[in-house]
Amino acid sequence: MNVDVVWNKLLSNLKEELSSLSYDTWFSETNLYKLDNGDAKIIVPMPIHKKHLQDQYIDIIKDNLNLITGNEYDVEFLLEEEIKEEESKEEKNDEKKEEIKEDVHSNLNSKYTFENFVVGNSNKLAYASALSIAENPGKTMYNPLFLYGNSGLGKTHLMHAIGNYIVENSDKKVLYITCDQFIDDYKSIMRKGSDGTNLSYLDFFKNKYRNIDVLIINDIHSLENASKTQNEFFNTFNSLHNDSKQIIISSDRSPDDFKKLEDRLRTRFCWGLTANIYPPDFELRKEILIKKLKGEGVIDAIPDEVLNYMASNIGPSVRQLEGAINRLIYYSFVFLDNTKDKKITLDVAIEALPEYVNNGVGDNDKIHRIQRIVSEYFQISVDDIKSKKRSSNISFPRQIAMYLCRNVTDESFPKIGLEFGGKDHSTVMHSVEKIENEIKVNKDLANIIEKLKNDIGTV
């Protein structure tokens, strides 16, 4: 119930109950300020009213409030200036709440940092670009940062890392958002436009996206299919860029590969720094594995050959590696209790990870094909070529097959070793070197290798 309604009703009751002198003296200039949470705050004109109303009339006021609203209230009398003081206190509190709320709304995930991002050849440019922007947001030549690469390679991780770094080391306002959220927000303006509230919502939108120091927008490729939103993003981009506010964009493709994006946006994406993240190579995959398994406290249970197996066979995305790690950790809980030496053996790992293996990293089909073709040529069996037999009629073809695997598939030495019955990577390296040197001086061998390559189908 509206406070004025309540108070008018109360006054008209009192008018009947009290003499007109009493009423006029004590109540004619009162007002109800607030009625909430069991508190009734009444405005009175002078300090003497406070005392007299408290001493003489408190019960009658409480009874009437209860009669009118059905609720019990504690009653407090305040002067006009006391109310003003209270109001300004409340405003400050509200502002504080706003600030805290806005912090929460940066949408950053604190688990993604520069410290826990493992750097290797495939991502070092992206990492360095991200770090330099985090240290120096808003510099023209680095604005925007455009990060691109396939899914699961660490773009989102790096973007949050930038945001977290800036929030920690400055008082800049950061907003992380997916492009889909931006599109949704924009569509809401259009919907709300029809019921006349468009303007205030437009203000909300502009405030949200332009009243910030750093805009991090993920998966910008979604904008391709939202042609109407492109214009609004263009305006947002310009407004921020003109004010030297940092913009960070990620995408699954390079700016050149946008087919349905307005040219003026595509060119803007290339104004600053553009960095491509590539799939991790064997070394980086292994390093990521080690770091994450250490973080989980299980690295001691994982022998090197298991790490090599995983780094060779799982990927290409880091997300797949993470899935495999979780699986392995689960498995280690189940298995380690029952083992003597508390280690995950290669056999257990192979059993644990079938769905993660051969997901595009391992060129296993090609390796098997090479083994078959070489075995046929030298008239030995594939089992022989993978065996430990050391007689030269078997070990020589094996060396050739290893050499071809390295040359044709570009697989890592540990991976090739694994596919040859679990040989050490140094054995593979040695074989490859040996054949390389021999080709140079042995024309017949060079011809055989050419023929085999032809059969494999790569020349």
Q: Could you tell me which stretch among 96-104, 112-120, 195-203, 412-420 binds ligand ADP (CB under 6 A)? A: 112-120
| Binding residue (CB under 6 A) for ligand ADP from 97, 187, 319, 389 | 319
CA distance 66 to 59: 10
Among 27, 117, 403, 420, binds ligand ADP (CB under 6 A): 117
Give the nearer residue to ligand ADP in terms of CB position, either 130 or 302: 130
- The set of residues, in sequence order, having a beta carbon less than 8 Å from that of 173 and lying 6+ positions away, is 102, 106, 211, 212, 213, 214
Report which residue's Cβ sits closest to ligand ADP: 154
| Stretch 152-171 residues interacting with ligand ADP (CB under 6 A) | 152-157
Residue 288 interacting with ligand ADP (CB under 6 A): yes
CA distances from 77 to 33, 86, 243 (A): 10, 13, 51
118 binds ligand ADP (CB under 6 A): yes
The answer to whether 322 contacts ligand ADP (rule: CB under 6 A) is: yes
Regarding 318 and contact with ligand ADP (CB under 6 A), the answer is yes
Query: What's the CA gap between 195 and 201, in Å, rounded?
Result: 11
- Using the minimum distance from each CB to ligand ADP, give the nearer residue, 137 or 149: 149
Question: Which residues of this chain interact with Mg ion, rule CB under 5 A?
Answer: 155-156
Only segment of 115-123, 174-182, 206-214, 443-451 that touches ligand ADP (CB under 6 A): 115-123
- 407-411: long-range contacts (C-beta < 8 A, 24 or more apart)? 407/432, 407/453, 408/366, 408/370, 408/453, 408/456, 408/458, 409/363, 409/366, 409/367, 409/370, 410/363, 411/312, 411/362, 411/363, 411/367
The Cβ-side half-sphere exposure at 395, using a 13 Å CA radius, reads 11
Residue 27's identity, in one-letter code, is F
Which residues, listed in sequence order, are joined to residue 148 by a DSSP beta bridge? 251, 276
Query: Near ligand ADP by CB under 6 A, which window of 147-155, 164-172, 186-194, 387-395?
Result: 147-155
Which of the listed partners (Mg ion, ligand ADP, none) does 403 bind, with a CB threshold of 5 to 8 Å by partner kind?
none
Partner interacting with residue 423 (select from Mg ion, ligand ADP, none; CB below 5-8 Å by kind): none
296 in contact with ligand ADP (CB under 6 A): no
Please answer whether residues 378 and 401 qualify as being in contact, where contact means their C-beta atoms are separated by less than 8 angstroms.
Answer: no
Whether 327 and 352 have beta carbons less than 8 Å apart is answered as yes
Min separation Cβ 268 and Mg ion, Å: 21
Residues that bind ligand ADP (CB under 6 A): 112, 117-118, 123, 151-157, 288, 318-319, 322
